[in-house]
Structure formats: structure tokens, C-alpha cells
Chains A and B, each alone.
Chain A
Amino acid sequence: MITTPTTPPERPDVLSLEANIEARFKTAVSISQNKNQEVLIALERPSALGALCKFLFWEAGCSFAGLVVEEQQEEWQLIYLFLLPGKHWVHVSLLIPLEDPTVPSISAHVHAADWYEREAEDLFGLHFEQHPRLGDFVLHDQVWQEGLAPMRRAFDLRQPRLERQPNQAWRPTLVVKDPGAFAMPVGPVYEGGLGESVHFLLETVGEDVIRASPRLFYKYRAVEKLAEGKTISDGELLAERFAAKSAFAHSLAYCQAVERAASLDIPIRARRLRVALSELERLRHHAGAIEGICQSTALNVSEAQAAIVEEQLLRASCSFSGHRYLFGLNTPGGLRRDFDVDICRRLLSAVDRASGELRRLEDRLRYTSSFLDRLEDVGSIDAVAARDLDLAGPVGRASGLPNDLRREYPYSGYGEYSFDVASEKEGDGYARLRVLFFEVRQSAALIHQALESLPPGETRTAIEHVPAGTTMGWVEAPIGSAFHWLRINEAGLIGRYRIMTASFRNWLGIHAAVENFAFQDFPIILATFGLSVTECDR
């Protein structure tokens, strides 16, 4: 049941962190704290950036949440977001003059930052020195011309389509240099289109696949650019709909960001309902992921049964909230609607049925050796590589990283609930499956805890005015931790909306950590990772 709230995070660690940084980097940095007790480090000397980030990531044990780039009036502002587990946010801020957009790359020290820098280079035109590979990332060289930088203010979102012929001279960059090596192309339309659009080059010399290079951003729709200039209410739609299978989670992060900016406390009933809905979404998402794993190993009966569970949860979501994917519920200040007792009871019985069915599936799958044979030791990522690439979500937890934002940095009242965080050590496909089943059980328990203790009251607090400034919201989405960063300008409109998702980080993990596997294992590896292309591409 609900326990008493835990004690607030201890301060001494933060102080020691600040002291360490000050001792080491002296005049290169200036440290302060903002009203939300976030540590702000402003870099005086750009050259200290790499060493500072390395210190924060490796020695202080922070995880790297993302890089936010903003084009301001006179300079570029880059904010590197680090999260000290369970404790505090650390923002490292760097200002670069507009005319000279050169930044030292930190990807050699913090490997998880690799793709953030490539994305910034493609979208903003920044140049990161000593980054091993820039270009052809978001804006594919075959489609777009060089130097476009669409995220810059001067670039008009609605400009007409530029007609350009594909670049005939484009060649993929291949890693395997053996004579007679070749790269099998998969996608972007593959699996009959029932897989999301992503392209792979599987490099091989004929037997095993030595290296798989994914090519993402076929689904790039410039959500961050679309948000600029929109009202906060219109921004809700974008937050929900760029990755609809985690719609509630992302809209929750967005709303929490706005509520944080407005220093708003939302009613307890709304908090509990939000927890219940988040966990409902997680339950349904994981049912779909389990179905995907069973489908990839061609165990058709369990795939069908898991698919039935997912569909039943979708129907239960629709009966409960009016929409199968929980659209249109979150709003800054709470929820748009209320739910009466009968509806909650029906939802609880649907959840019980679903989790019972999944438990039965799990019990039997554990004894199906032909199924386990295909999952064990497939796509293994060990704990060292997981930490190195800062993997998030069930993938990270299966490799021994016990990170979970609900536990470490509780939001929406998660600190009051009792639940366990999954943790497995092997890091192979079977470990990831076990993590999914574990989280299904935890989600069902959390929904019970939330709905059985709903206090009466409002589900929404009205927000009159959101003050200008930057704010951040975070959430443990079904795939992993997601961070939404907002800057609201004087007129109350969105000035900059930055979305940093777990899929973006974890795709780098597939790229870097999975080598030397049999070709037949490829769909299984993809299914056990369960990553979302649309969440990464935005």
C-alpha cells in the first residue's frame, strides 16, 4: 500500500560534488544553484568541457540525459544535462559565439553523447571538433543538400519542398574491411512494412553478421521545430503524438515541465490517476513487446495470446478513458476528465485479467526450451558496455543498470508507492524478456495501489500564467527515461522544446554493442530491444 513519503534527498553529496568540481576546474567554471536546487555549471573556457563531462559521467557517476542547443540572439547556448542518480540535476552550460559555431566534442569521454552531437551538427550547423563522424545523420545526404540547418531561427518551417535528385555518388561507410565483405541492406520498407521504417546495413563475409549499422531518421518530422511559437495547449498535442505508444508518458513529462515552471502542486487525485494511467500504458506497451519477441522467434501461439492481451488492454483503455492510446487526458494542472468508481473497478478487473494471462504465459515460456534457445546469449550487452553507453529502460536494467526514474527521481508521487525495480545481469535477450515480465507484475500492483486509494477531489488545478523561463519534465516511459526541456517566452508561447528520449540513446547501443551474430538472430535481437523508431526520430 502507500507508505509515508521518503525523506528528501540528502544535501551533503551535492555539496561534495560542487566542492570537487570547484577544486578541480577552478577558474574554468562558475557554479550556482537555481530555485529547483539544480546545479548550474557555466563554463568559462570551452576547452574544459571534455574533462568536466568526463568527470561528471565517470567519477561522479552521473548519467547523461541529453544535450540542449538553443540559438539565442547573440550566441549559441549548449546545455549538457547530467543526472546524479537519486540526487540532483547538473546542467553544464556553454556559450559559443554565433559566427563561430565550433564546440569541442565530448564523445570521446562520454560515449553516450555521440549521437547528440551528430544531431546538433545536422540540425543546427554546429561543428564538433574531433567527433569521429559527422553528417548524413538526420538529414540523409541522398535527399537533402548540405548546410541546411533547419533548426535555426532563420529557417522557415513551412517553406516549399526543395526538389533535389538523390546523390548518385553516395556510398555507405562500411566498417568491415575484409576483401569479399559485403553489406546486406534491410529496409527501410521491410517485414512487409509492419516494422517501422529504419534501414540496416548488415556487414558480413558470408556467415555471421559482423556488424549491423542502423540508419535512422527516415521518420523525421521536425517536432521540435513545429513546437516553436505554439501555445502551451497546442504543444500538448505534439508531446502526445510524436510517439503514440508512449503518448501518456510523454504528455506527462510535458505537463510536469509546465507545472514545474508554474510551481504548481496538482491535486492528489490527479497524481494517483496519472500513476494509474502511466502504469496502464506501460502494461499495454510491454504486452506488445512480449508479443513482438514471441513473433520474432515464431512461437505463434504465445504471440497470439500476447496479442489478445494487448488488444484487451487497448479496449480497456478505450472504455476507461475514451481513447485506446490514452490521448487527450493530460493537461498542465492535472487531467482533463474524471473517472467514477465503476469505471475504475472495471479497469482493475481488466488489468487483473491481463496480468494473470501474462503470468501464465511467462510460466509456460520458461519451460519452452526451443524458445529460450533463441533468446539466450543473443544480442548480449554486458554491464560495462551498458554503463558506457548509458542505456536506459528495460534494456539497461537487463544489463545490470538499476536505473529507474520512478525510484531515483520520483515524480507524480511515485515515492509513496511500494514497487521493485527490475534488475538482471546477463544482458541477453532472455534477460530483457524477464525484465518485461517483471515490470508487468509491478505495473499491475501499482495500478491497484493507485486506484484503490483514490481520494475524492478535483482532478485539475487551473493554471493562470506560466512565467517565462526554462523548465524540465521527466518520466520513466515504457522504453526508458525521457526528458522534456521547455523554454517559455514572455508571451507565454513555446520558445524551444527539446525532447530527449530513451530510444535515441538505446539505438546507439544496438549500433555499438551488437557484433558478430547469426543473420537469423537479427529480428530476434531487434525484438528483444523493443526500441521505437518514431521516438528516436521525432
Chain B
Amino acid sequence: MAFWFWYGLRNGIRSTRYPAAPESSAGISPGRPLDTLFADPLEAARAAANCPASAITAVDSLARVDFKKCVFCQRCHFGTRDELHWDASFEWTQRHSSERGYEPLPRDFAHSLHIIVVDAGDCGACLNEVKQLNNPLYNMHRLGFFFTATPRAADVLLVVGPVSENMRGPLIKTYEAMPDPKRVLSVGTCAITGGVFGQTFTSAGGVGSVLPVDLEVPGDPPPPLSILHGLLVVTGRKQPMDAQHSPVNEVSK
């Protein structure tokens, strides 16, 4: 057993220093498509038609991206002549509705947050990204975030998946079992708009139609740092992204 102790020590501290310092290692995030100004409306329309999730709308020559619908098929990233600009960000958390402001949890929770995760039918990628928050490279414990096994001890309900019909009841029960104050964080495009599954007889098309959602983290899947950003926004340690569109970029071909 002593071996494992030294083995762990020898491998050193690998945790990212985010949010204290910006994180920019390779591969931490796939990035996201940005609004792009094309040369003429035809190209913009082609770009919009290229998107299988209808996340891009063409307004004159501007191709607007509704990131909440983007499923990361990357068809606008390469392999086509109408490529959009992509950035390398990961801080994507937004409020659920732009009319209603977001009130973070009281200050006592800022460094001691307990999270219960409910898998409401997700494909496995979002859940895996959530699980990565526990590994030494992200180590969310240093920020005071913990996963709990029971909703009775939880402050935040983190939902992944489009809420399949069979999971609707358990999800509502989990929410009702949580004591106040509580917040709901939906993670992943499926949990926001239903993703590729949409709204069907067996998929609610997002958590918003089942529970009162406070914050959303779009992405398919959002990388762990995005989810971490989401948790920081829940506690008020960071601000949510403006739901308005991202800055416009010229197409530089």
C-alpha cells in the first residue's frame, strides 16, 4: 500500500489553476462557432442550410449561430466551403431566460457547494464530462464543489439529457427532495433544446419544460471546464455569459 502513496505523490499536482489563472492547454475545449459575416447573402444562406440542427440563421450576409441548438457536428468547421469562424473558448454558461435575472446562491455556498447529478437520458458524453471534474486535472474539490449521493444534501441539481419520459418522474422527485435554497443547472444541448432527440413522445425536449431551470451550459458535450464555469456562475463567483450573440467576425478566406 505504501507504493500507491508514493506513486501518487511522484506524479505531482496536475490540477488546472482555473479560475485563478486562464487555462489554455491543448484539447481542453472544442471551441464554438461564432457569428460570421460572409461575402454575400448566398454564402450565408448556404452556411445556414448546411446546419442539420438549424442552429445557423442567415440575416443578409451574417450567419448567426444560436449556440443553444448547436450539436457540434462540425460541418461548419471543416469539410465545407462555407466555414464559420470557431474560437477556443469554454465559458459558455447562460441564463435560462434573458428576461428573468439570475440570483446566485447565498454567499455561504460559494465555497461549499453540493451537487446532485441526474442522468435524464443523455448519450453518455455529458455525463462523462461531468465525471471528469473529479479527476486530478480539474479537481473541483479545490473549489469547494462536491457531488452528493442524495438530493437531501444537495444545493444544485445538475441535469444532463433531454429528459426521457421514463426519467421524468424520478427527475421531478429528485428536485422535490432537495431542500431550499436550490438551483437547477442544465448541462448540454440536449438538456436545453433536446439536441438531436428533439421533442417527441418520449423526450421532453429539454429540462426547461419539466423543471424551473436557472442556468444552462450549452455544448455537445460542454467540456469539463465549461461545466466548472457553470458551477462558478451558480455560486456567483463568475458572471453568466450574455445571451446575446457573440462578436461578429469577418470571413477571411
Contacts and interface: CB of A to CB of B under 8 A. Distances in A.
* A adjacent to B, CB under 8 Å: yes
Interface of A: 140, 142-144, 150, 155-159, 161-162, 166, 188-197, 217-223, 225-226, 233-234, 237-238, 241-245, 247, 288, 299, 301-302, 304-305, 307-308, 310-312, 314-319, 322-325, 327-329, 331, 336-337, 364, 368, 370, 532, 534-535, 537
Given A245-B128, A311-B224, 17 more contacts: A158-B199, A189-B174, A192-B147, A192-B148, A219-B121, A220-B121, A221-B162, A221-B197, A237-B71, A308-B137, A311-B132, A319-B27, A323-B72, A328-B73, A368-B3, A534-B124, A535-B124
B167 A370 contact: no
Nearest to B165: A143
B25 A307 contact: no
A244 B116 contact: no
B248 interface: no
Contacts of A337: 78-79
A433 B228 CA distance: 31
B148 A196 contact: no
B201 A157 contact: yes
Contacts of B247: none
Contacts of A307: 132, 134-137
Contact of B7 (A189, A197, A243, A301): A301
A193 to B, nearest CB: 3
Which applies to chain B's interface (DSSP): helix, strand, loop or mixed? loop
Contacts of A288: 128
A226 B198 contact: yes
13 contacts: A143-B166, A157-B201, A158-B200, A166-B169, A192-B147, A196-B119, A219-B122, A220-B165, A221-B121, A222-B202, A308-B137, A327-B74, A364-B3
A237 B73 contact: yes
Nearest to A316: B27
A307 B8 CA distance: 13
A237 B27 contact: no
A88 to B, nearest CB: 33
B79 A336 contact: yes
Contacts of A233: 52
A305 B11 contact: yes
Contacts of A188: 167, 170
A226 B195 CA distance: 12
Contacts of A162: 201
B7 A219 contact: no
A219 B167 contact: yes
Contacts of B134: 307
B164 A161 contact: no
A244 B18 CA distance: 27
Interface of B: 1, 3-5, 7-8, 11, 14, 25-30, 52-53, 71-75, 77-79, 116-125, 127-132, 134-138, 147-151, 158, 161-162, 164-170, 174, 195-204, 220-221, 223-224
- Most interface-central of A219, A318, A322, A368 (chain B CB within 10 A): A219
Given A219-B161, A311-B137, A318-B30, A226 B169 contact: no
Contact of B203 (A221, A315, A322, A364): A221
A310 B148 CA distance: 23
B240 to A, nearest CB: 23
A304 B170 contact: no
B26 A319 contact: yes
Q: Nearest 4 A-B pairs (CB), nearest first?
A: A315-B27, A193-B117, A328-B74, A307-B135
Given A197-B119, A328-B75, A299 B4 contact: yes
A149 B196 CA distance: 22
B179 to A, nearest CB: 16
A166 B168 CA distance: 12
A213 to B, nearest CB: 16
A328 B128 contact: no
B201 A222 contact: yes
Contacts of B149: 190-192
Contacts of A534: 121-124
A94 B94 CA distance: 53
A220 B202 contact: yes
